[in-house]
Amino acid sequence: MSIDALVRPCIADLEPYEPGKPVEEVERELGITGVIKMASNENPLGPSPLAVEAARKAAAGMQIYPDGNAYYLKKALACMLKVEPNQLFIGNGSDEIIHFLGITYLHPGDEVIVADPSFSRYDSAAVLMNARLIKVPLKDFRHDLDAMASKFSDRTKLIFICNPNNPTGTIVRQNEVESFLTKLPADAVAVFDEAYYEYVESEDYPDSLRYIGEGRHVVTLRTFSKIYGLAGLRVGYAVSSPEIVAHLNRVKEPFNVNSLALAAAQASLSDPNQVRRSRQLVSEGKRFLQQSFTAMGLDYIPTEANFIMVRVGLDSRELFRALMSKGVIIRTGDIFGLSDYIRVTIGNMEQNGRFVKALSDVLGR
């Protein structure tokens, strides 16, 4: 018997995640140096010096298993967020928590509702559990919560709302969310993925933690990968009711988050400048890039995140190769069904300037 015959049929329906191309790989392939990566929404400022020092100290004890309960990190987060420690679940990146939500709540034939396009790991959570994936197109590049609510049924179990949405950078607003939650089935869970929430400037951004406090079936996902600059260590967290957190704790792997990640994340929270300086950099870079796109006659999607999608008027793969040859890595839009768009991470001003110059040269504008 072929080994392929032993594989669960749903595995064939999964699309492997396509990460942003690493700098080292591009430099090796093209024989160039000084490549910049503006593809994976990483923080160009890097982590807090306090986080780096905490990880360095933790490395000396790497022969010891990490704290499987993440006691001190939960304590720090609980203080910051004004929740109880038993309302917190720490994951090996928020990707892992998305996976655990699928394992915990989905039976074959259950339904998962997502926006399209949005973060692909929601799809995987459904497919792996033989659940039915219902994709609802964005409206004006934003989640159409009314259309998503119209898909509710007695099989609806999970609804993922990426806010701000990856890849479009758009948000759903408070009044929309409150109306949506009144229609949420009693046995369904709404998951708000807020990986980029620290970058939001809109005053109409919903406070998802309030809905948890009201006793609704809501999970809020956040991460240390973006504004805290710890993408390489993989640490995210969920906030929810003690009951939902207890369910997740039953399926998590022992010691799922490593010691260095726990130490760095906790130290990050004690640095008052990390969030402030990162927000300032993104706010300034966003204005520069938007002005540059306008000057080149390019349409872009107004963003509340640390990345922007811009319509370039040609095949994004073609533009990707042209920009890569100039030492700039971006994200193609075709993987999101937007073949003439690219997604670019907001970098520091030197990186932003290099990207704009390369884009202008390639487009002849």
- Rounded to two decimals, the pTM is 0.96
Q: What is the pLDDT of residue 3?
A: 86
Residue ranges of alpha helices (H) inside the chain are 23-30, 49-59, 71-81, 94-105, 121-128, 145-149, 174-182, 208-213, 242-251, 259-269, 272-295, 316-325, 349-363
Residue 183 banded pLDDT, cuts 50, 70, 90: very high
Q: What is the pLDDT of residue 17?
A: 79
Q: What is the pLDDT of residue 361?
A: 96
Pick from 15-29, 261-275, 298-312: least confident = 15-29
Residue 1 has pLDDT above 80, yes or no: no
CA distances from 23 to 278, 295, 322, 329 (A): 22, 29, 15, 8
Residue 108 banded pLDDT, cuts 50, 70, 90: very high
Q: What is the pLDDT of residue 16?
A: 81
Tokens representing 2 are 């072929």
Residue 15 has pLDDT above 90, yes or no: no
Instruction: Identify the structural domains of the chain with CATH numbers, from first to last.
Output: 3-46+273-363 (3.90.1150.10), 49-271 (3.40.640.10)
